[in-house]
Amino acid sequence: MEFTAQTIADFLHGKIEGNADIKVTKVSKIEEGKPGTLCFMANPKYEHFLYTTEASIVIVNNDLVLSQTVSPTLIRVPDAYKSFASLLELYDSFKPQKTGIEQPSFVAANAKIGENAYIGAFSYISDNVKLGTNVKIYPQVYIGENVTIGENTILFAGTKIYHDCIIGANCIVHSGTVIGADGFGFAPQSEDNNYKKVPQIGNVIIEDNVEIGANSCVDRATMGSTIIRKGVKLDNLIQIGHNVEVGENTVMAGQSGVAGSTKIGRDCMIGGQVAVSGHLTVANGVKLGGKTGVNASIKKENEIMIGAPAQNYSDFMKCYVVFRRLPDLKRDLDAVKKTLSIK
């Protein structure tokens, strides 16, 4: 694909500084820019690359003040990161779209397959499955009985969707992810100190515009539904327990886990390796720093929490200042004890 600076600026409603006719065929990071590539610069800490990059076109923010002359053509926009994402989406849309059913694969006779759907080789589509228009099922995907998948949703290779689950429109589920495996439900048996499995008879509901990273697990409910609300973005290696509800537009970074029956509010931001205990409530807009351990409900909206157990960010930082001073405090205490002849 080949685009001129003028074409790109028109698409983004941006302002050109430089050669409007210069052409690009690829995208790149600004520090790796080569002639014929397009990149962006939104974070000020990368500004020095703007003066050395060999990229032909760079998208920058309107408020950027140059401290040196630049060689690439600039396209100024209100938000360079957002504009570059829009361009990548456009670029991706030009890729050839697969359709049809590859062989060998199995599609049940009573499954309903929407127009322009793609089913890759070695996939298994069970009884009463409903696939919407433009659904893409890549090779080695398993879809269990009575599953419904909305239009334009993509399941990448090796994804497993267990029976009775519902996935909305415009979702992306990456390779190795399992949707609808049994929740971790076992009843302790006092007579022999053993555990009896509790049947998990619910399902998983994933609403529209959700993306789930590779090798993640969303467990089915014991009864009712585990629910991932619209717009949620889950990173790789995420564990969502049975009967959990994750609110709209919440984002969660890798290796985080939410235990059973916890309700996460909308618009939350959860860092990597965060652990949330079961049967809790996390209010809307809460931000949890990496490695935070949540063992009590967070009821205040837009709270910023960190630490294990979780506490208010400001309180945590005050404690951390004291923690860093502990060696000095110990020396001072030892000196006082020595002066007072205290053993």
Catalytically active residues are 242
Burial 330-343 (b: 16+ CB within 10 A, else e): eeeeeeeeeeeeee
**DSSP string for 154-221:** EE-TT-EE-TT-EE-TT-EE-TT-EESPPP--EEEETTTTEEEEPP---EEEE-TT-EE-TT-EEPPP
The conformation of residue 224, written as its DSSP 8-state character, comes to S
Q: Judge contact between 166 and 131, C-beta under 8 A.
A: no
CB atoms within 10 A of CB 44: 9
Rounded distance between C-alpha atoms, residue 233 and residue 239, angstroms: 13
Q: Strands 186-189 and 194-197, how do they pair?
A: antiparallel
Residue type, 302: N
Matching residue, tokens 């006082």 = 336
The contacts of residue 28 (CB under 8 Å, 6+ apart) are 34, 37, 38, 39, 55
Q: Judge contact between 151 and 133, C-beta under 8 A.
A: yes
